[in-house]
Chains A and B, each alone.
Chain A
Amino acid sequence: MKQCRTIFQDGDHRWLAIVRDPNRAGHVIDTNEYLIESGGDSLLCDPGGIEIFPAVFSALCAETDPNRVKAIFASHQDPDIISSLALWLDFNPGLKCYTSWLWSSFLPHFGGTAETFASLPDEGGSIPVGDLDLEAVPAHYLHSSGNFHLYDRGAKILFSGDVGAALLPPEQDDLFVKDFDQHIQYAAGFHRRWMGSNEAKRRWCERVAVMNIDMLCPQHGAIYQGEDVARFIDWFDQLTVGIL
């Protein structure tokens, strides 16, 4: 079963990371899901694929009431991001799914009605969760053509989707990056191949470099914190992407 770890807490404002499933089938990529709680409501970032729903759901239930999940944030349209949507809707048919306008007519293939989807314009926007106003930060072409990250100004946490992702070997299951130089080798190939545009990458780096970020939380691999956040942004800025 996946573990549910609290990575930030300030009163009822909390971030939970649902990570590392030892029973995961080897052919399914490991994913991190993040739950942001505030004022009795919660939002789930990239809830994951349909096949890993039992693992995510049971880990989440161990920590919190699944009925409180009032919204889902889908950074983009991939099946490992959002194909479990129909099952989350089983628990809350009124749940809102925030995603790029580009995908709001594609994601209904995974479930939901016209009322389920809240389309985000290209420039982003705010997403209310309890007492919070989370910010959808544009990250188009990194890697999806309609792609957003989610910033929590209060917690100083940026959910960065596939940016920062690392395909770690099974024995490296730390929640946080411990040794940046050793870690980044597992991110390099992924970023070169999955990120399609150097121009888009440069814009993203410029955008997030001026944000106050304590933790950068990717969908795969370990979380960057403290100085490793700026270190990662610099590394990414230098990397040539969109090549085989």
Chain B
Amino acid sequence: MNAPESLFRRPAAPTSESQLARIVRSNEEIKSIVATAFKINLMALNAIFLAKRAGTAALGFGVLSNELRRFAQDLTQQMASLREMTAESVTAVSNLMQQRRLDRILELAVLACEGREIPGLELVMARAEGAMTGKFQRLRQFDKVLHRALEATGQLVELGGVLARSAKIEAAYGGQYSSSLMQVSTDFADVIDQIKRSLEKLTRERLIKEGS
């Protein structure tokens, strides 16, 4: 007799519905970081003009503003690549959901046969199992790549934080422009903190839970 139980030999995957919800949440965080990076870019541009007006007293601040502008551009690029990855994750999760639905209906069909011999069932089950395993592994691979990219982005944001702190120190030497430069550097620090929080949220949104 063909045992329908063998149909259940599948990798224990978490629910794909919640995976899709996680991808949507990740995408929203990415959009928010991209918007903030755009804001940093404009802020840095204004800071460069301010430093030029302040003259030699704000030379260091000017250099840091340039670096912050480059940071904003690098961050935008990094987020574009993360966004591409999440789009590919949607495909991987959708494929897994579709496979799971087909498997569920196939299982019901075999159970409905009430133990009758179904020629070729073993082969069908093996194919279905292979398809499910392949799709699950692909998702796991995406999750790893996404996580590594997030770690790299985290390091970049750390650098942004250091630049913002240094800008604060340089602002103190800005002479009569000191208070304006301090205000700008505080704004830098605030938006970078905002990015850090978004990034922490992103890092928590895993496509596959640990150990599955």
Neighbouring A residues of B124 by C-beta, 8 Å: 90-91
Kindly state whether residue B197 has any CB partner on chain A within 8 Å. no
Q: Are B102 and A87 in contact (CB under 8 A)?
A: yes
* Contact between chains at B119 and A58 (CB < 8 Å): no
Q: Are A53 and B105 in contact (CB under 8 A)?
A: yes
- Count of interface residues, chain A, beta-carbon cutoff 8 Å: 18
Q: How many residues of B contact A (CB 8 A)?
A: 17
- Chain A residues with CB under 8 Å of B101's CB are 50
Check B113 for interface membership: any CB of A closer than 8 A: yes
**A to B contact number (C-beta, < 8 Å):** 45
Contact of A61 among B102, B113, B128 (CB under 8 A): B113
The answer for the CA separation of A54 and B101 in the assembled complex, in Å, is 13
In the complex, the chain B residue whose C-beta lies closest to that of A61 is: B113
Contact B120 A54 (CB under 8 A): no
Please provide the chain B residues from 92 to 113 with a CB less than 8 Å away from any CB of chain A in the complex: 101-102, 105-106, 108-109, 111-113
0/1 interface trace, chain B 110-149, chain A, CB 8 Å (1 if under): 0111101011100010011000000000000000000000
Q: How far is the CA of A65 from the CA of B124 in the complex (A)?
A: 14
B108, B109, B111, B114, most chain A CB atoms within 10 A: B109
Pair B112/A57 contact, Cβ less than 8 Å: yes
User: Which DSSP category, helix, strand, loop or mixed, fits chain A's interface?
Assistant: helix
Complex interface: chain B residues within 8 A of A55 (CB):
112
A62 to chain B, nearest CB (A): 7
The answer to whether the Cβ of A67 comes within 8 Å of any Cβ in the partner chain is yes
Q: Are the C-beta atoms of B119 and A62 separated by less than 8 Å?
A: no
Give A91 to B124 CA distance when docked, in angstroms.
6
Residues in chain B near residue A61, CB distance under 8 A: 113, 116, 118
In the assembled complex, the CB of A111 is this many whole angstroms from the nearest CB of chain B, namely: 8
A87-B102, A90-B127 known; A53+B109 contact, CB < 8 A: yes
- Which of A53, A62, A90 lies in contact with B116, CB distance below 8 A? A62
Q: Least Cβ distance of B129 to chain A in Å?
A: 11
Query: Do residues B119 and A54 form an inter-chain contact, with CB atoms below 8 A?
Result: no
Q: Which residue of A lies closest to B117 (CB)?
A: A61
- B131: min CB distance to chain A, Å: 9
| Known pairs A66-B118, A87-B105, A87-B106; A58 contacts B127 (CB<8 A) | no
8 A–B pairs (Cβ distance < 8 Å), ordered by A = A50-B101, A51-B105, A53-B108, A54-B108, A58-B113, A86-B102, A87-B105, A91-B120
Ordered nearest first, which 5 A-B pairs have the shortest CB separation? A58-B112, A54-B108, A54-B109, A57-B109, A54-B112
* B contact residues vs A (CB 8 Å cutoff): 101-102, 105-106, 108-109, 111-114, 116, 118-120, 124, 127-128
Add 15 more A-B contacts to A50-B105, A54-B108, A65-B119 (CB < 8 A).
A1-B112, A50-B101, A53-B106, A53-B109, A54-B109, A55-B112, A57-B113, A58-B113, A61-B116, A61-B118, A62-B113, A86-B102, A90-B124, A90-B128, A91-B124
